[in-house]
Structure 1
Amino acid sequence: MADYFPYQNNILMDIAYRTDNGIYYHGSTAELNQADFENLSDQKASLIFTSPPFPLKRKKKYGNLNGVDYLDWLVDVVNHLLQFLKDDGSLVIEVGNAWEPGIPEMSTLPIEALLAIKNKCNLHLCQSFVWYNAAKLPGPAEWVNVKRIRVKESFTHIWWLSKTPFPKADNRKVLQEYSKSMKKLLKDQKYNAGQRPSEHVINETSFLKVHEGSIPSNVLISSNTSSNTDYQIYCKANNIPLHPARMPKEIPEFFIRMLTDEGDMVLDPFGGSNTTGAVAENLNRKWISTELNIEYINGSKGRFSNLIHGTAVSN
């Protein structure tokens, strides 16, 4: 397995760079230990937010497994990481869709992955989220673009799990602006209360109380279409290839805000271009990221401007 999946290699971690709030380690997730946390603080993480390599049928530069190998690997990774998570902390993990080879049939491997880490790691599924990306390229190309017998995929699942059914969380930290219709409703203070066809009885006061905003849904909408971010400008100026699967900052920001407080620790064991670390830095959280690919680490420095200090691995 180690021959074709780089995250299985036993490589001791070095500090690639650090800021006042965080550390980016160069090395395998399997080598992460409590001493690495003590380089920054002696606390455990309140949130593990990550997007591990997907179980894709077509091999990617950043590596991927399939079938039982993928499930076993993911369970091992999660079990290893849970020792660094607080008892009331959360694990938020994105696992993308997968397709069976050679036929227009979706694989159930992502769902099997959820069940495997939930059951074998003794975790609770707090909620399932969908990340909708309208700008996602059409795929799978053979069935969508060539033979035109499927439609393009535009979402992936994000699962929120924890050691307890009651992890630290507060949806008041991620309230959204009221819609125009809701603003009008609150202004007029008139609502069609009463019993609905569903037999639910709606009390007028249920919807006419003014809060600081509306409670968001579990469908997160964000696209990664920017072409002139600090990260991209830095990579271009330093001839560093862009990470092929970057996540927009709005996704980790949502979970970091809802599931942590200022000063808490956020861990991303598959840091990539380190969107998670950059968002945590901006929100005054402590953070640790790990990554085996030094090109991704070097490119991620563009997210931190002049905040980086300390050891820096460059080759």
Structure 2
Amino acid sequence: MSNNVFPFVINDFKPFFQTDYGFAYCCDSINFLKSIPDDSIDLIMTSPPFALLKKKKYGNEDSQNYVDWFITNFANEFKRILKPTGSLVIDIGGSWNKGYPTRSLYHFELLIKLCSDVVGFHLAQEFYWYNPAKIPSPIQWVNIERVRVKDSVNTVWWLSKTERPKADNRKVLTPYKASMKKLLKEGYNDGPRPSGHKVGKKWGKDNGGAIPPNLLNYDNLSEVLQDNLLEIPNTEATSRYLQACKSLNIKPHPARFPANLPTFFINFLTDPGDVILDPFGGSCVTGEVAEKLHRFWITSELNEEYVYSSKFRFYDYSTDQKEVTTSD
């Protein structure tokens, strides 16, 4: 470890590995959460197993039991460990009703339950992650009967413990479009619009970039957020993690989310030195992003193979030596 001092200690569990900023645990997150102190986490950034019709190797609940499973085991613990200014961000995909080309409402039911008096979270904002590279599914309805279009969007719920979570959209500004640059240069007419909105003189101020909407849209993996539809192709192919899995003959985690997804929310909702938790750690994408952005992080993951392979996001698999380089 470096001279970075983690803000608190977890005594009941031994980490599988650690880095300059974080700890990865191989354990059941249901029990692990109970060991985390109250009001200690700035951001829970996670993608829990979805309620899919087919069981996956990484484990997933069916849609009929999903909401009760999540609320009973995780919801109140998430709220307990978050700081008053903290946020819970959940990437969660939809599902289909078994045997029919109609959609399950389980992820909307989960949102309503989380924001009810039973738990008491607040919906700060909803986002949408569009993956243009997603395989057409379900095959029966999309490819065979041709009665539905490709399902390529996940909802991302941004929830908060209180009505005023920490957030700063100035940290996720996007480049101005050519039309806005022209307006800033040539000026525009202020005053009321037919919609009822009033454009003030301050609208002509150059703030260094545009405030993004909640449609998250990346033109490619190196671009910044464009709007609140997150268009992020999930096409990782040459990362150090995948290279290590291939060399060691390990199957990579089959449901990794792309690094740009946690990157946006970590920048938007936290500061360097804050603590980020992913209780469904998978291949530790959240941890890798947090490390590069100088945030402390914790992940818990039940599958030992996934935790072992995730180590090579930070370590050279050929020498087992730490190879993390964090950004400035």
**Structure 2 equivalent of residue 313 of structure 1:** none
Mapping of residues 125-164 of structure 1, within 5 Å: 125-164=123-162
1:23 paired to 2:20: no
1:286 to 278, 296, 317: 296
- Rounded Cα–Cα distance in structure 2 between residues aligned with 1:172 and 1:143: 42
- Rounded Cα–Cα distance in structure 1 between residues aligned with 2:115 and 2:49: 18
Q: Using the TM superposition, give the Cα deviation of residue 43 of structure 1 relative to its aligned residue in structure 2, in angstroms.
A: 7.5
Are the aligned partners of 1:185 and 1:208 in contact in 2 as well (CA < 8 Å)?
yes
1:301 to 303, 311, 318: 311
**Structure 1 equivalent of residue 205 of structure 2:** 209
- Rounded Cα–Cα distance in structure 1 between residues aligned with 2:64 and 2:19: 39
Q: Using the TM superposition, give the Cα deviation of residue 81 of structure 1 relative to its aligned residue in structure 2, in angstroms.
A: 2.6
2:82 to 78, 82, 85: 85
Are the aligned partners of 1:13 and 1:31 in contact in 2 as well (CA < 8 Å)?
no
Task: Please give the secondary structure, in 2, of the residue aligned with 1:156.
Answer: strand
Post-superposition CA distance 1:183-215 (Å, at most 9, x none)? 222122x21434332122323x24310012111
Q: How many residues align?
A: 292
Q: Using the TM superposition, give the Cα deviation of residue 296 of structure 1 relative to its aligned residue in structure 2, in angstroms.
A: 1.2
**Structure 1 equivalent of residue 325 of structure 2:** none
Per chain length, whose mean CA-contact separation is higher, i.e. which structure has more relative contact order (CA < 8 Å, sep 6+)?
1
Post-superposition CA distance 1:50-80 (Å, at most 9, x none)? 1101011111111121244211111121212
**Structure 2 equivalent of residue 176 of structure 1:** 174
1:218 paired to 2:228: no
Task: Please give the secondary structure, in 2, of the residue aligned with 1:15.
Answer: coil
Are the aligned partners of 1:49 and 1:276 in contact in 2 as well (CA < 8 Å)?
yes
User: Judging changes above 3 Å, is the alpha-carbon distance between structure 1 residues 33 and 62 closer, same or farther for their aligned structure 2 residues?
Assistant: closer
- Rounded Cα–Cα distance in structure 1 between residues aligned with 2:179 and 2:242: 38
- Rounded Cα–Cα distance in structure 1 between residues aligned with 2:273 and 2:140: 47
**Structure 2 equivalent of residue 259 of structure 1:** 269
- Rounded Cα–Cα distance in structure 1 between residues aligned with 2:283 and 2:161: 28
Q: Counterpart of 2:28 in structure 1: which amino acid? A: S
Are the aligned partners of 2:39 and 2:84 in contact in 1 as well (CA < 8 Å)?
no
Are the aligned partners of 2:34 and 2:77 in contact in 1 as well (CA < 8 Å)?
no
Are the aligned partners of 1:74 and 1:117 in contact in 2 as well (CA < 8 Å)?
no
- Rounded Cα–Cα distance in structure 1 between residues aligned with 2:109 and 2:33: 28
Structure 1: 4+ residue segments shifted above 4 A:
33-37, 306-309
Give the unaligned 5+ runs of structure 2.
1-11, 217-230, 323-328
- Rounded Cα–Cα distance in structure 2 between residues aligned with 1:202 and 1:208: 9
1:70 paired to 2:66: yes
- Rounded Cα–Cα distance in structure 2 between residues aligned with 1:142 and 1:154: 16
Task: Please give the secondary structure, in 2, of the residue aligned with 1:32.
Answer: helix
Q: Counterpart of 1:132 in structure 2: which amino acid? A: Y
Are the aligned partners of 1:24 and 1:288 in contact in 2 as well (CA < 8 Å)?
yes
2:55 to 52, 59, 63: 59
- Rounded Cα–Cα distance in structure 1 between residues aligned with 2:310 and 2:96: 30
Q: Using the TM superposition, give the Cα deviation of residue 26 of structure 1 relative to its aligned residue in structure 2, in angstroms.
A: 0.2
- Rounded Cα–Cα distance in structure 2 between residues aligned with 1:292 and 1:65: 15
Are the aligned partners of 2:126 and 2:155 in contact in 1 as well (CA < 8 Å)?
yes
Q: Using the TM superposition, give the Cα deviation of residue 34 of structure 1 relative to its aligned residue in structure 2, in angstroms.
A: 6.2
Are the aligned partners of 2:93 and 2:155 in contact in 1 as well (CA < 8 Å)?
yes
1:198 paired to 2:195: yes
**Structure 2 equivalent of residue 167 of structure 1:** 165
**Structure 1 equivalent of residue 223 of structure 2:** none
Are the aligned partners of 1:18 and 1:308 in contact in 2 as well (CA < 8 Å)?
no
Post-superposition CA distance 1:19-68 (Å, at most 9, x none)? 1210000010112156567xxxx971100011101011111111121244
User: Judging changes above 3 Å, is the alpha-carbon distance between structure 1 residues 124 and 294 closer, same or farther for their aligned structure 2 residues?
Assistant: same
Are the aligned partners of 1:17 and 1:308 in contact in 2 as well (CA < 8 Å)?
no
Post-superposition CA distance 1:253-287 (Å, at most 9, x none)? 11111111110000000010110000000000000
**Structure 2 equivalent of residue 100 of structure 1:** 97
- The 10-residue stretch of structure 1 (151-160 or 222-231) with the greater mean CA deviation from structure 2: 222-231
**Structure 1 equivalent of residue 32 of structure 2:** 32
- Rounded Cα–Cα distance in structure 2 between residues aligned with 1:43 and 1:162: 13
Are the aligned partners of 2:242 and 2:252 in contact in 1 as well (CA < 8 Å)?
yes
**Structure 2 equivalent of residue 269 of structure 1:** 279
Are the aligned partners of 2:63 and 2:104 in contact in 1 as well (CA < 8 Å)?
no
User: Judging changes above 3 Å, is the alpha-carbon distance between structure 1 residues 294 and 284 closer, same or farther for their aligned structure 2 residues?
Assistant: same
